[in-house]
Amino acid sequence: MIIANWKCNGSTEMVLSWFEAYNIEFNFENYDFDIFIGLALPSIYLNHFDREDSQFNFAEWGVQDVDHSDGSRTGAISVDMLIDMECDFSIIGHSERRQIFNEDNDLIKEKLKSLNNRIMPVLCIGETKEENDKGITKDILKNQLEIVNGLELDESFTIAYEPVWAIGSGLTPEPKDINEIHKYIKDVVQSNSANNLIPTVLYGGSVTDKNAESFFKEEFVDGALVGGASLDGTTFAKIVNIFNSTKKT
Ligand code: PEP
């Protein structure tokens, strides 16, 4: 699984040129069609063009965040609206939502509950540099994962492990350390969810076409959530091609 997170970037012109570049680079001939390739463009562009058109048909469509309720909530987009617009997934709990918009675990849990069994949730978790330096990464992740406790999770439930210090910095943990953390995340969710689900776990944080292979080779890395490098259609297609060549779904 590879997901692009465009964040608050893009324009009509960029969307169209991105797909053109992507489709030139994307290795259609050797593509394993079971691989989930998700695009979380700014939601305003979701229905800006014909998603049925063949140039877009490799993609699953998602959003970068969602609200847990509807009605008098100015600026919000609800889960019902995502279903109405045929969205496939929503990211929740991104560190930028936690830090800039002050979202806490209670709110993120409400979002998870409103998505669960309806639209695939992609829950972001990760420690800060300070927490990493203190050696408390696992404690922080366990705390962020408390929101799954006792929940009957949908099979599609996905986690993106995104160390905050790796996002947009060009820094990443060592692949073997990411692998160990992914195993830990899978174990925690399996132990604490009502249905003992083993989630899909993506790595996110400064993934590029240069370092992607080193992460994808690791046993418990099920794919990537890609920010900055996803803004270039050619680079994103290269990352998908690298993932495809490791034959993971
Ligand atoms: C992100 O913020 O979700 C992300 C993965 O960013 P980047 O790839 O730019 O580090």
The percent of residues above 70 in pLDDT, for the chain, comes to 98
Asked whether the predicted pLDDT for residue 149 surpasses 70, the reply is yes
As a whole number of angstroms, the distance between CA 134 and CA 146 comes to: 21
The single-letter code of the amino acid at 158 is T
Closest residue CA from atom 1 of ligand 1: 227
Whether the CB of 38 sits within 6 Å of ligand 1: no
Whether the CB of 235 sits within 6 Å of ligand 1: no
Instruction: Give the active site residue among 96, 127, 162, 218.
Output: 162
Predicted confidence (pLDDT) per residue in 153-177, tens digit? 999 999 999 999 999 999 999 999 9
Whether the CB of 228 sits within 6 Å of ligand 1: yes
Atom of ligand 1 lying closest to residue 95 CA: 2
Helices 175-192/137-144 angle, 10° precision? 40
Q: What is the pLDDT of residue 30?
A: 74
**Cα 124 to ligand 1 centre (Å):** 11
Is position 29 annotated as part of the catalytic site?
no
- The pTM assigned to this predicted structure is 0.96
Lowest average pLDDT, out of 19-28, 61-70, 76-85, goes to: 19-28
Q: Which CA distances in Å does 166 have to 52, 91, 138, 173?
A: 35, 18, 16, 8
Whether the CB of 207 sits within 6 Å of ligand 1: yes
Closest residue CA from atom 8 of ligand 1: 227
As a whole number of angstroms, the distance between CA 202 and CA 61 comes to: 17
Find the mean pLDDT for residues 27-43: 85
Q: How confident is the model at residue 34 (pLDDT cuts 50, 70, 90)?
A: confident
Predicted confidence (pLDDT) per residue in 91-146, tens digit? 999 999 999 999 999 999 999 999 999 999 999 999 999 999 999 999 999 999 99
Atom of ligand 1 lying closest to residue 207 CA: 8
Strand partners, 2: 37, 224
Asked whether the predicted pLDDT for residue 49 surpasses 80, the reply is no
Terminal Cα distance for the chain, rounded: 6
Closest residue CA from atom 3 of ligand 1: 227
Helices 12-25/233-245 angle, 10° precision? 40
Is position 162 annotated as part of the catalytic site?
yes
Following DSSP, what letter does each residue of 114-146 receive, concatenated? HHTTTSEEEEEE---HHHHHTT-HHHHHHHHGG
In the chain the domains, ranked by start, together with CATH numbers, are 2-248 (3.20.20.70)
